[in-house]
Amino acid sequence: MSENKSNYGANNIQALEGLEAVRKRPGMYIGSTDTKGLHHLVWEVVDNSIDEHLAGHASHIDVIIQKDNSIKVSDNGRGIPTGMHEKLQKSALEVVMTVLHAGGKFDKDTYKVSGGLHGVGVSCVNALSSYLRAEVRRDGKVFAQEYSEGKPTMEVEQIGVAADSGTTITFLPDTEIFEVSEYKYDVLAARLRELAYLNSGLTLSLIDERNVDEDGNFKQEKFYSEGGLKEFVIFIDESKAPLISTPIHVIGKEENVEVEVAMQYNTSFSENIYSFVNNINTREGGTHVSGFRRAVNRVFSKYAEDNGLFSKLKFKVSGEDFREGLTAVVSVKVPEPQFKGQTKGELGNSEVNGIVSRAVGEVLGHYLEENPKDAKKIVDKVILAATARHAARKAREMVQRKNVLTGSGLPGKLSDCSSKDPNESEIYLVEGDSAGGTAKQGRDRTFQAILPLRGKILNVEKAMEHKIYENEEIKNLFTALGVSIEDKDGERILNIEKLRYHKIIIMCDADVDGSHIVTLILTFFFRYMRPLIEQGFIYIAAPPLYLISKGSKKVYCWNEDERKQVVEGMGGSDASGIKTQRYKGLGEMNASQLWETTMDPIARTLRQVTIEDANECDRVFSMLMGDEVPPRRKFIEENARYANIDI
C-alpha cells in the first residue's frame, strides 16, 4: 500500500545534531546580534509557517509585537507533531524546539519546497530567547511547552481542546545576547508585505500592542495579494511612470522547479531586480537572476535586429542597456536549493539558469510579437540608454583624465587634512560656504577635511548619467574622495581602491532644507557610490537644535524633548534668566561650538548610514526624489512625526 505523503507525524522529524554553540556563536546562525539579527529571529519562525502554506496547509499567519517586545507568531497549519520520537524518546515538539538541524524540512515527503532549508531556525530562536512558549493545536487538542535559553522548563502538556489546527510560538529575545531589544514595526511590515506578494492567497497580519490609538486600538495591518508578483511590481513602481500598460507576467515549471517572474519598464534610469528562492530574498542574485537577464538580452536583441531597429546605432548595445528602467521580481521554488554562503544570499543551482531563461524567453518573445507598440517603446528606451551610456563614459573619462593630467586633481574648495591614512582620515561634506568656513576653523586639521557644497546638489534621480558629470559639486565629490566608475564586463563598477577617507560625514543644517540636501546627497551615494554605504563609510552628523543657558550654565539639546527636560531642570519656562537659542543653521555656531557639539570625536553623535533592505531603499528614494506627488505626500503624512518643522 502507498503511504499517505501528507501525513505529517513524529517520525517525519529527523534529528542531525545538538544545540551546542548557538548561544556562544549566535552570529554563525543568524548573521549578527544587532537589529538585523533581532529581526531575523522573527523570519525564522515565520518561515516555518510559510512552509506550511507552501505545503498546502496554512492560509493565515499572524505576527504580534507584544508590549515587552516579545513576539507571537501564529498559523493555522497542521501543527508541529507532538507524538513520541522513536529515536530520541521524547516528544517531537521538544526535538524540533531543542535540537539543531531537527525538522520536517529534511524529509522530502513532508515539504516539497522549503525556505528554512538549514533546519536551524526555530531551535536557534529558542536558544537565543530568555523565554519561549510553543503551543500546538493538533488532533483536537492543545499542547504546550515552555523553554528558557533553549532548555525545557516543563514537559509537553495537553492544556485544552482545539477546534482547529496550527502552531503558536511566543518568544522574548535574550538581552544578554542581543545589543538591541526593540522591534521595528516598519521592518516587520515590509517583509510581511513582501511575503504576501510572493504567496498569493496567503493572509498575513501584523499587530503592534506597544502602539495604541485614542480609541484603544492597536496599530495593525493586513497583507494579502491575489495577483502576486504582478501586484508586487506595481507596488514597487508606484512612484515611477510606467512605459508599458501592464506588467509582463511569466509562470512556468520544469523539472520540479517553479518559475514566476513579473517585469515592468518605467521611465527611470535604474534597473531593479528583486530575486527570491523559496521566499528567501537572494540579495546577491544567483543563477535564477543570470537566467532572467540572459533571456531579456537574447529576446530583445533578436527582436530589434529582426526588425532593423538598431540599424542607425554606431556602437554596440550592452546588456545593461536592455535593463535600464526595468523593474522585475524573479521568484523560483526549488526542491533542493544550493546557496552560496550561510546567509543564503546567492543561488548556486546551475540548472536553474536555463530553466528561468527558457521560461522568460518564451513568454517575452510572444509578448513582443503580440504588443508591437509596447515593444517599440521599450526598444526606443534601450537605444536611448545605449546612447546615454556612451555619452556618460566619455564625460566620465573627461573628469577622470583631467585629474590625472592636473596632478592631484583635488578641488580648490577642499581643505584637506594632513594625514594620508584613509583609516584615520574623515571628510565633512558641509552645506554652504559660510558653514564650511566655520568648520574649517573648528576642525582638527590632522585628520579632518572639509568640502563645502554650494546649495542643493543635482537630483540624480531625474538626471541622465552623463549630465551628472557636468555638475560641479558632483565632480568635486568624485575627485575629493578619489573614487572612479569603470566599465567591467559590460557592467559599471565603483573602484574604491584609492578612497582617501574612511569616514564621509554629511553635515547639514537641522532644518527642512538641510534634510532635503542630506536626501539629495544620499540619493547620489545610493545610485552611483553604493559600495561606500554598504561598507559603512557614510555618516550623518547630528548638530544640536538648541542652546539653553542660565547664567554661566550652558546645555545643548538635540530635540524638543531634551529642551523641555533641560528647561524644567533649570526651574521651568517661567524662571527669570533662561535663554533659548534655536540654531537655524550651522553658520550660527562659532568654530568652538561646532567642534564641541558636532565634530569632536569624543563628544559628537554620528549616525552611520546602512542599507538593511536595498530594494526598499530604492523604492523610497524613487518615491521621495521622483516626479509622482501622491506617493510622496502619503509617505510624508505617515512619517510626519519624524519631520523637522520650522515655524
Return the pLDDT at 298. 93
Please determine, for residue 13, whether its predicted confidence score (pLDDT) is greater than 70.
no
Return the pLDDT at 404. 43
Answer whether residue 597 is part of any domain. no
Average pLDDT over residues 68-80: 95
Q: Which of 431, 473, 616, 618 is catalytic?
A: 431
Please determine, for residue 355, whether its predicted confidence score (pLDDT) is greater than 50.
yes
Instruction: Say if strands 538-541 and 503-507 run parallel, antiparallel, or are unpaired.
Output: parallel
Return the pLDDT at 112. 54
pLDDT tens, position by position, 434-458:
788 889 999 999 999 999 987 678 8
Q: Is position 509 annotated as part of the catalytic site?
A: yes
Answer whether residue 587 is part of any domain. no
Claim to verify: residue 127 and residue 234 sit in the same structural domain: no
Answer whether residue 39 is part of any domain. yes
C-alpha to C-alpha distance for 115 and 328, rounded to whole angstroms: 21
Instruction: Say if strands 326-333 and 272-277 run parallel, antiparallel, or are unpaired.
Output: parallel
Return the pLDDT at 440. 92
Range from 17-21, 152-156, 223-227, 547-551 carrying the lowest mean pLDDT: 17-21
Please determine, for residue 431, whether its predicted confidence score (pLDDT) is greater than 70.
yes
Task: Give the CATH number, domain containing residue 206.
Answer: 3.30.565.10
Claim to verify: residue 76 and residue 166 sit in the same structural domain: yes
Answer whether residue 37 is part of any domain. yes
Answer whether residue 3 is part of any domain. no
Residue with cell 566599465: 487
State the amino acid at position 493 in one-letter form: I
Claim to verify: residue 259 and residue 379 sit in the same structural domain: yes
Task: Give the CATH number, domain containing residue 492.
Answer: 3.40.50.670
Average pLDDT over residues 105-124: 57
Return the pLDDT at 22. 84
C-alpha to C-alpha distance for 46 and 561, rounded to whole angstroms: 37
Confidence of residue 290 (pLDDT cuts 50, 70, 90): very high
Return the pLDDT at 467. 80
Q: What is this structure's pTM? A: 0.72
C-alpha to C-alpha distance for 508 and 87, rounded to whole angstroms: 64
Task: Give the CATH number, domain containing residue 286.
Answer: 3.30.230.10
* CA neighbor of 435 nearest in space, from 547, 644, 594, 606: 594
pLDDT tens, position by position, 393-413:
777 777 665 554 344 567 778
Q: Is position 47 annotated as part of the catalytic site?
A: no
C-alpha to C-alpha distance for 296 and 327, rounded to whole angstroms: 12
Claim to verify: residue 417 and residue 477 sit in the same structural domain: yes
Return the pLDDT at 19. 64
State the amino acid at position 483 in one-letter form: V
High-pLDDT (> 70) share of the chain, %: 86
Q: Which of 444, 511, 588, 628 is catalytic?
A: 511
Return the pLDDT at 119. 43
Q: Is position 231 annotated as part of the catalytic site?
A: no
Claim to verify: residue 214 and residue 244 sit in the same structural domain: no
Claim to verify: residue 216 and residue 326 sit in the same structural domain: no
Grid coordinates belonging to 557: 539639546
Answer whether residue 576 is part of any domain. no
Claim to verify: residue 376 and residue 449 sit in the same structural domain: no
C-alpha to C-alpha distance for 436 and 432, rounded to whole angstroms: 6
Please determine, for residue 646, whether its predicted confidence score (pLDDT) is greater than 60.
no
Burial class (CB in 10 A: 0-12, 13-18, 19+), 358: middle
Please determine, for residue 386, whether its predicted confidence score (pLDDT) is greater than 50.
yes
pLDDT tens, position by position, 226-282:
999 999 999 988 888 899 989 999 999 998 899 999 999 998 888 889 999 988 888
pLDDT tens, position by position, 554-613:
888 888 888 888 888 887 766 678 888 888 778 788 899 899 999 999 988 888 888 766
Q: Is position 511 annotated as part of the catalytic site?
A: yes
DSSP characters over 166-199? EEEEEEEE-TTT-S--PPPHHHHHHHHHHHHHHS
Confidence of residue 2 (pLDDT cuts 50, 70, 90): very low
Claim to verify: residue 368 and residue 440 sit in the same structural domain: no
Claim to verify: residue 94 and residue 151 sit in the same structural domain: yes
Confidence of residue 60 (pLDDT cuts 50, 70, 90): very high
Claim to verify: residue 212 and residue 260 sit in the same structural domain: no
pLDDT tens, position by position, 360-371:
999 999 999 999
Q: What's the total number of domains in the chain?
A: 3
Claim to verify: residue 272 and residue 204 sit in the same structural domain: no
Return the pLDDT at 399. 67
Q: Which helix (H) or strand (E) holds 37?
A: helix 35-54
Residue with cell 565633512: 428
* CA neighbor of 501 nearest in space, from 486, 522, 480, 485: 480
Please determine, for residue 3, whether its predicted confidence score (pLDDT) is greater than 50.
no
Return the pLDDT at 647. 31
End residue of a domain, out of 504, 539, 574: 539
Q: Which of 34, 238, 513, 600 is catalytic?
A: 513
pLDDT tens, position by position, 84-94:
888 878 898 98
High-pLDDT (> 90) share of the chain, %: 43
Claim to verify: residue 467 and residue 382 sit in the same structural domain: no
End residue of a domain, out of 387, 419, 438: 387
Answer whether residue 291 is part of any domain. yes
Say how many C-beta atoms besides its own lie within 10 A of residue 154's C-beta: 10
C-alpha to C-alpha distance for 198 and 195, rounded to whole angstroms: 5
Quote the mean pLDDT of the chain.
85
Return the pLDDT at 245. 87
Instruction: Say if strands 448-453 and 426-431 run parallel, antiparallel, or are unpaired.
Output: parallel
Return the pLDDT at 166. 95
Instruction: Give the structural domain span for 143.
Output: 10-223
Long-range own/partner contacts, residues 455-460 (CB < 8 A, 24 or more apart): 456/513, 456/516, 456/517, 456/520, 457/517, 457/520, 457/521, 457/524, 458/520, 458/524, 459/520, 459/523, 459/625, 460/523, 460/524, 460/527, 460/528
- In angstroms, the first-to-last Cα distance of the chain is 79
Most confident of 3-17, 198-212, 378-392: 198-212
The region that residue 80 occupies, defined by phi over 0 for left and psi between -120 and 50 for alpha, beta otherwise, is beta
Answer whether residue 479 is part of any domain. yes
- On whether the CB atoms of residues 548 and 541 are closer than 8 A, the answer is no
End residue of a domain, out of 510, 539, 568: 539
pLDDT tens, position by position, 586-596:
878 889 989 99
Confidence of residue 632 (pLDDT cuts 50, 70, 90): low
H helices within 501-572, ranges in order? 512-528, 530-534, 560-569
Average pLDDT over residues 167-192: 94
- On whether the CB atoms of residues 154 and 145 are closer than 8 A, the answer is yes
Q: Which helix (H) or strand (E) holds 136?
A: strand 129-138
Q: Which of 51, 174, 509, 618 is catalytic?
A: 509
